[in-house]
Structure 1
Amino acid sequence: MRWVILDTETTGLDPDTGHRIIEIGAVEVMNRSLTGRDFHVYLNPDRESDPGALEVHGLTTDFLSDKPRFKDVVDEFLDYVGDAEIIIHNAPFDLKFLDAELGKIGKKSFKTFCPEVTDSLVHAKSLHPGKRNSLDALCDRYGISNAHRTLHGALLDSQLLAEVWLAMTRGQDSLAIEEYDEASRLERANHNGKHYELPAISVSEQELQAHGAYLEALDKASDGKTLWRTFAGHV
């Protein structure tokens, strides 16, 4: 299973009014493990960012002036996302911008280049109805540190979302009710510093005979089809 966790930063809120993508960040997850094979690029949008957007991402026009344009990186980007399920938080926003950028250079919509796009915000709302499900709120809920997130950044947000997504989709990987570390395991084994051992209870000969008679009765009732007869050492 290959996931690509993706985020963008933009000059404003609506590509229909001429706003552009200025940053793409993505991280790869293979078989529920981060691979370290990231995709990250800043883009020259050939326009100013709205003041509100600039406060969010802090990417100035001067900083972006020498960066490549979307058309210069599109092939590398599409190769990267190609065979993955794409995970985006509030996917319609990013998809609208990606489709607009692709349309400007005569390419089809983003979803035609990858097998599936999943909206992690929709998934979060299904798990936590009526709760705040922003990326910051989810980081708090799942104990993921976002103290270094003073400004929004596409790569940083993708990395945080990857951790959130793995936490939201981890399911129950064992029969244990909770996951415990080694210290917790030792604490349970040595409660309050005391070591407890379960007593060994011996079975009497009379009890063994009664058990054997019970098994014999079950075997007769099933016309000799009981499984324990196939194992050596059973009555």
Structure 2
Amino acid sequence: MSRSERLFKLLQVLRRHRRPVSGITLAGEVGVSIRTLYRDIATLQAQGAGIEGEPGIGYVMKPGFMLPPMMFGAEELDALVLGIRLVVQRGDATLAQGALLALSKINAVLPAELRHELEGSGLLVGAGEQTLQHEVTPALLRQAIRYERKLLITYLDPAGVQTQRTVWPFALVYFDKVRVLMTWCELRQGFRHFRSDRISQAEILDQRYPRHKQALLREWRKTEHVVGQSLLPETDSISG
């Protein structure tokens, strides 16, 4: 096992443990001596990895950390480049900026030969259909989802009827032309999908909704008999 592969494996092992784990246990899982483990942890910490702990106490990975040098296979690099270029081409401005920043961070820590492969990728994204105009920025909808806040929306349904709803947003689905907000609707007491281009106003409320978004997503999948990532019905038929 090369040193870079060993460091990457150590990171993967640390990610699996939510509580501090002893150096002896880590060394056994990675397949190195305890001395090598201490040296590798010091190397990762020096490169920005958020590893907390010390010998005799244990180690744990903090959420959110700077990526150390790592190895990617050819298909993994292609997937990264294509996915990020899709977000830049089809996402809103805030999301596109985040995708480019993520790519630059990955590029900065790749070994030279992989950086050359990343920068020279021949996978491009063609022009797609124009996304419909939105009165409410998707960044606001994503913020409500991220912080699990109730959302007060004004919605115009396909029949032209305008209603106000208090909803619990738990996912935002991106199609070629439209985005669909997945929610639990307090008015209907059930799951409802709202095309974001038909939301004329939206206000994030102070109250957190009473359930976690992951639980809502799992229940929605069970209710709709969806396995894995969902494919919603044709968006023209989706309303509140």
Q: Shared topology, TM-score over 0.5?
A: no
Q: Which has the larger radius of gyration?
A: 1
Task: Give the strand-richer structure, 1 or 2.
Answer: 2
TM-score w.r.t. the length of structure 2 is 0.28
